């Protein structure tokens, strides 16, 4: 069931003076906006409203990307709160803020509190353009700043991680770009640890840690070596099953990742058509039964997020049901 919670009334009677002052700080931050909002929030150490929680007892929690949720209705632009509520109305347990680059910490926190919808993650899509592997020091500095921003947004929303595309293979030879990326990510680990937000690497079609032009049955060893090279509990994998059905067997990747597999992205893929398709559709040849077995074997418990074409509540509901068929059976 979707999570939509309402604070008990009267709210003031349950708040300490410290929390009232913090709530006032957040209100001021929302009013001033921009850099002022970020500065005001720096004085507020509280996470998102603890009353906003995902359902208890579920081994796999279902989420969609914010970018999948329709941004307009009846000729008007929908607010962040309205869009979060649409995901809840479709039966999702939470949302992944894949538009976090344009959302302040104040906005994220206020939207979670007002909507009552859990936000578990943040993503800044500028990581494709401003890359940690870029030969440009200025681009790398921007990429680091963007990653830091997403860590703060995820923390403010009450979430538990940030998805990152670590770079692009065209930025240099494999050893060079991996070391470049590793060096930049290490700068951010103290912030990730202090906020309790793991940095989660997505396996994408970026020509890193796999051979883009090779046939299927490739393994995840290079991803594992890269994650393990940090020797940090704050670096893991946001494993996209559909992305790498093109290259390898999900059952083998999941078993090999083990505890490194922190979150999942879900989409369908057809090897026959060499194209992304709807999850569990007639064209989707991802072996979902084997995926379920492998996830159970490693004891996976956590968030699975759809990354497919979205829309309004009806379309989102359809996607949620497809995810349940794929991951629950």
Question: pLDDT per residue over 239-287, tens digit each?
Answer: 999 998 989 999 999 999 999 999 999 999 999 999 999 999 999 999 9
| Residue given tokens 């919670």 in the structure block | 5
Which tokens sit at 80? 């962040």
Is residue 81 one of the residues assigned to a domain?
A: yes
DSSP E strand stretches across the chain? 60-65, 72-73, 76-77, 94-97, 119-122, 162-164, 199-202, 235-240, 261-266, 268-270, 275-277, 302-306
What is the chain's length? Answer: 329
Residue pair 63/120 in contact (Cβ under 8 Å)? The answer is: yes
| Residue given tokens 């941004």 in the structure block | 71
What pLDDT shows up at residue 180? 97
With a CB cutoff of 8 Å and minimum separation 6, the contacts of 138 are: none
Is residue 254 one of the residues assigned to a domain?
A: yes
Is residue 60 one of the residues assigned to a domain?
A: yes
* pLDDT above 70 for 13: no
* pLDDT above 60 for 39: no
Residue pair 148/188 in contact (Cβ under 8 Å)? The answer is: yes
- 172-227 tens-digit pLDDT: 999 999 999 999 999 999 999 999 999 999 999 999 999 988 888 899 999 999 99
Residue pair 227/235 in contact (Cβ under 8 Å)? The answer is: yes
- CA dist 198 and 243 (Å) reads 21
pLDDT (mean) for 140-156: 97
Give me the chain's average pLDDT, please.
87
Is residue 274 one of the residues assigned to a domain?
A: yes
Which tokens sit at 259? 């505890």
Q: CATH number of the domain at 176, please.
A: 3.20.20.150
Is residue 220 one of the residues assigned to a domain?
A: yes
C-alpha angle with apex 125: 155 to 321, nearest 5 degrees?
80
- CA dist 186 and 199 (Å) reads 10
What pLDDT shows up at residue 290? 97
Residue pair 321/276 in contact (Cβ under 8 Å)? The answer is: no
Give the CA count within 13 Å in the CB-facing half-sphere of 220.
28
Is residue 6 one of the residues assigned to a domain?
A: no
Per the structure, the complete domain to which residue 222 belongs is given by: 11-327
Give the count of domains, the chain: 1
Give the CA count within 13 Å in the CB-facing half-sphere of 226.
27
Is residue 249 one of the residues assigned to a domain?
A: yes
pLDDT (mean) for 87-105: 97
What pLDDT shows up at residue 52? 85
What pLDDT shows up at residue 213? 87
C-alpha angle with apex 276: 274 to 279, nearest 5 degrees?
130
Is residue 3 one of the residues assigned to a domain?
A: no
Task: Enter the pTM of the model.
Answer: 0.84
Beta strands at 72-73 and 76-77: parallel, antiparallel or unpaired: antiparallel
- 48-86 tens-digit pLDDT: 455 588 888 999 999 999 999 999 999 999 999 999 999
- 289-319 tens-digit pLDDT: 999 999 999 999 999 999 999 999 999 999 9
- CA dist 312 and 328 (Å) reads 24
- CA dist 262 and 238 (Å) reads 6
* pLDDT above 80 for 42: no
Crossing angle of helices 137-157 and 105-115, rounded to 10°: 30
């Amino acid at each position: 069931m979707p999570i939509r919670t309402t604070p008990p009334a009267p709210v003031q009677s349950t708040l300490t003076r410290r929390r009232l002052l913090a709530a006032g700080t957040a209100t001021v931050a929302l009013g001033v906006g921009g850099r002022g909002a970020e500065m005001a929030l720096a004085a507020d150490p509280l996470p998102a409203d603890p009353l906003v929680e995902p359902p208890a007892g579920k081994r796999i929690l279902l989420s969609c990307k914010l970018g999948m949720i329709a941004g307009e209705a009846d000729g008007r632009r929908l607010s962040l709160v309205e869009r979060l509520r649409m995901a809840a109305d479709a039966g999702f347990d939470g949302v992944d803020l894949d538009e976090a680059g344009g959302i302040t910490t104040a906005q994220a926190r206020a939207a979670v509190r007002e909507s009552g919808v859990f936000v578990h993650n943040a993503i800044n899509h500028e990581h494709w353009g401003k890359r940690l592997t870029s030969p440009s020091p200025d681009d790398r500095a921007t990429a680091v700043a963007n990653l830091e921003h997403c860590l703060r947004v995820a923390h403010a929303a009450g979430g538990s991680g940030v998805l990152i595309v670590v770079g692009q293979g065209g930025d240099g030879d494999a050893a060079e770009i991996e070391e470049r990326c590793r060096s930049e990510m290490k700068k951010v680990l103290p912030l990730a640890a202090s906020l309790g937000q793991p940095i989660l690497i997505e396996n994408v079609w970026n020509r890193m840690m796999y051979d883009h032009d090779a046939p299927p049955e490739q393994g995840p060893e290079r991803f594992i070596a890269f994650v393990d090279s940090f020797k940090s509990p704050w670096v893991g994998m946001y494993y996209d099953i559909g992305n790498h059905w093109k290259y390898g067997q999900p059952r083998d990747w999941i078993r090999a990742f083990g505890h490194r597999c922190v979150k999942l992205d879900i989409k369908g893929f057809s090897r026959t058509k060499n194209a992304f398709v709807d999850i569990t559709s007639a064209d989707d040849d991802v072996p979902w039964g084997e995926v379920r077995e492998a996830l159970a074997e490693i004891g996976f418990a956590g968030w699975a997020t759809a990354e497919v074409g979205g829309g309004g509540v009806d379309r989102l509901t359809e996607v949620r049901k497809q995810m349940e068929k794929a991951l629950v059976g």
